[in-house]
Structure 1
Amino acid sequence: MVADEGSSAPHPKPAPSKELTTRVFSALVMVTAALLTAYWGGWPFALFWLAAGIAIMVEWTDMTGIEPRRPVQAILGLGLAGLTLLFLLGAELWLSVAVSLAFLAATAFAVHGGQNKLWAVSSFVYALPIVLIPPIVRDHPDLGILGLLWMFAVVWATDIAAYFTGRTFGGPKLCPPISPKKTWSGFIGGVVAATLGGILVAWVGQHYGAALPFTLAGIAALSIVASIASQVGDLGESALKRHCQVKDSSHLIPGHGGVMDRLDGFWAVCLVVALVLLTLDSTS
């Protein structure tokens, strides 16, 4: 029942169905943007993930209360943009490393207090996989857009299945001190769905002549590892929010919170894929 106009009663929380509708609509917009830019590749795709990485860095530094905040965010944002530009121009790795160290040094000089320096540097390091790994995968001759689709499928299947199986079956909690709502049933459901989703992407790719450099058994094993990593990444971000005493990293995405809230699992999968890239490049 809607409160009378002028009533001092608190506003009721949105109905669950309305919350779900908002979440679904926001998710569809994000999925569409991710898939379209992945199809285009090049500058649009790299800039899409640069924007995501800058948003993550801003949310991290906002949550941790770094000062002077805006100048530090400007320095870090320029550093991330510089690395994206160097990637797009095909610069040597040593130059990217040198630029990263230069911006990290400038950040450490600008931030007040030793603990804040650590938070500022870690925000940059945390954002780097989101900014660089997806474009690297997109351009990699052995992975390409199929590798990206595998990453998306594993993360999205994990998130969706963990949410619905956890709500449906409940049961023992996964890690109550960090995330009281997550359950082992959701964790297992996420892993199973991610494995099936990863295999499906690889199988469809093979059917259309675009194969990943792994057997289907290898894809299944890698999907399991990536799904576990995704859920651990989610828990890690929840631990950071609990430390900072915030519910969401920001309110940028309706129904979802912030960019960190949506990409914490994808960030962890980026780390897994980075190890895969090192393995592929060392054996080629």
Structure 2
Amino acid sequence: MKIIRNLEFQGKQTAVCIGKFDGIHKGHRLLIEQAKKENKPIVMISFSVDEAKVLYTPYEKEKLAEYLGIDCLLEIPLTKEFCSQTPEEFAKKLLCDTCDAASVIVGSDFRFGAGRSGDTNTLQQLGEKLGFSVTVLSKLELGGEVVSSTRIRSLIGTGKMELANELLGTPYFLTGVVQKGNQLGRTMETPTANIYPDAYKVLPPYGVYAVIVDVEGKRYKGICNLGVKPTIPGENEVGFEVWLFDFSGDLYDKELTAYFVSFLREERKFASLTQLKEQITRDTVLAKQILSQKESEWHPESFLH
């Protein structure tokens, strides 16, 4: 997959999906599936997200887009110059000159051009004039509400991982490179891998979660603690610490992707490391039960490869 962060790209008869694509959830995926029906190279045009927090970092978004079969991810910075374009300038410069779009697929709430002056009707008129087809898809609803990045951010922020994962289509995940910690887990026979999430990534509430982890092409079950490890003196940085049940070896400096399956409990401070170890044992039993119960629901295509 090509990743382009400017307009220096030349497509050739492409199928173009346009949106913010934060999370690339099930609603977004309808656009992608429609684009695949065109049997043309798929370009996903994604704009910078103005929210303070995003579901996925740029790198995570790129991994997910590639997994979903995108041929080119065109990430457009929303500069003053770009945002001042008329709808027709937007269509000519971006869709025609840059992408050579044969077809354009958007959601029903799509707006473009200076002051969001263009809508789907405008786009269809420009498509007729400039020579590309336009497909407008209705918003996807699940559970009586529209599937949206805002809704998913709220669900994750309150720890409702099962519903968030259903709306996303791929379980919410965190990717990072394992860093060396205090190695305290080794002394409790639960060696952990430590990752420090980006500050602008939406995170679930601090606590313990049942997780599925991909590392070096293999998949493991485990538990993680997300938070500041209040029982450990001197720890105050927000971190992700995961223990893989059936893994032995060194994970330092390796990339790890963890899928949050279920919330187990809130993070809390224990009076001693002995109490912490006893709680980890209970957490492990519960996590294994939950992960075993949910295993029959999983499909290989639900996870990144």
> Normalising to structure 1: TM-score of the pair?
0.26
Higher strand share: 2
For the pair shown, the structure with the greater C-alpha radius of gyration is 2
> Normalising to structure 2: TM-score of the pair?
0.24
Higher helix share: 1
